[in-house]
Amino acid sequence: MSAPRRISLVGPMGAGKTTVGRRLAELRHQTFCDSDQEIERRTGVDISYIFEKEGEAGFRQREKQAIAALLEQPGIVLASGGGAVLDADTRRLMASHSVVIYLHAGVEQQVQRTARAENRPLLQNVDRAQTLARLFEVRDPLYREIADLVVYTDGRHARALVREISDFLHSHEFVA
């Protein structure tokens, strides 16, 4: 049998990339990785601290390096950070090395799912709805640009989303 395919999950904060990615990996017996967790593992500090010390640009560099390293592993399920697609190299990397699943969430749903967002520096001390709407406008086309599948997550349970992705992967298993 050929090696399982690498899968990358993209989408906004609160779309469920980390949650759905972990469950999908479990179901498919693949290794789960999260780029934020990998950056924290490599640096020994949390995401907020990196934003504070190096700004968003510094974080994006680390994110690109982390994703490049993770995508060298065969058969991983990668949950990316919501802004990973802003970097053209990172987009190219995910598109060329993995099946890309866009977990879509409307802004209202993003707001609800990021209510406890202590470690999301872009959402600290701001109007969350306004910020998420502004980010979404810029990023939605970038998610779509590299997506092989768009999954709409509003009001849906993680297990239903995992099933939809899993069915898609099954039906496309033999496509080169």
Ligand X SMILES: Nc1ncnc2c1ncn2[C@@H]1O[C@H](COP(=O)(O)OP(=O)(O)O)[C@@H](O)[C@H]1O
Which residues of the shown chain bind Mg ion in the complex (CB under 5 A)? 17-18
The H helix count followed by the E strand count for the chain is 7, 5
Point out which span in 11-19, 24-32, 40-48, 70-78 binds ligand X (CB under 6 A): 11-19
Q: Does the footprint of ligand X cover residue 133 (CB under 6 A)? A: no
The binder of ligand X chosen from 92, 144, 157, 172 (CB under 6 A):
157
State which amino acid sits at residue 23.
Answer: R
Buried b / exposed e over 89-111, threshold 16 CB at 10 Å, is ebbebbbebbbbbbbbbbbebbb
Q: How far is CA 131 from CA 12, 46, 66, 108, 135, in A?
A: 12, 21, 26, 12, 6
Task: Return the number of the residue (13 or 71) whose C-beta is nearest ligand X.
Answer: 13
Point out which span in 70-78, 127-135, 155-163, 166-174 binds ligand X (CB under 6 A): 155-163
The binder of ligand X chosen from 43, 113, 149, 163 (CB under 6 A):
113
Per CB under 6 A, residues contacting ligand S3P are: 13, 17-18, 36, 47, 81-83, 120-122
Name the minimum Å distance from CB 42 to ligand S3P. 14
Q: Is 91 annotated as a binding residue?
A: no
Residues in contact with 76: Cβ distance below 8 Å, sequence separation at least 6, in sequence order: 6, 7, 25, 30, 31, 32, 33, 70
Q: Quote the CA–CA distance of 8 and 51 in Å, as a whole number.
A: 23
Q: Does the footprint of ligand X cover residue 166 (CB under 6 A)? A: no
Binding site for ligand X (CB under 6 A): 11, 13-19, 79, 82, 113, 153, 156-158, 161
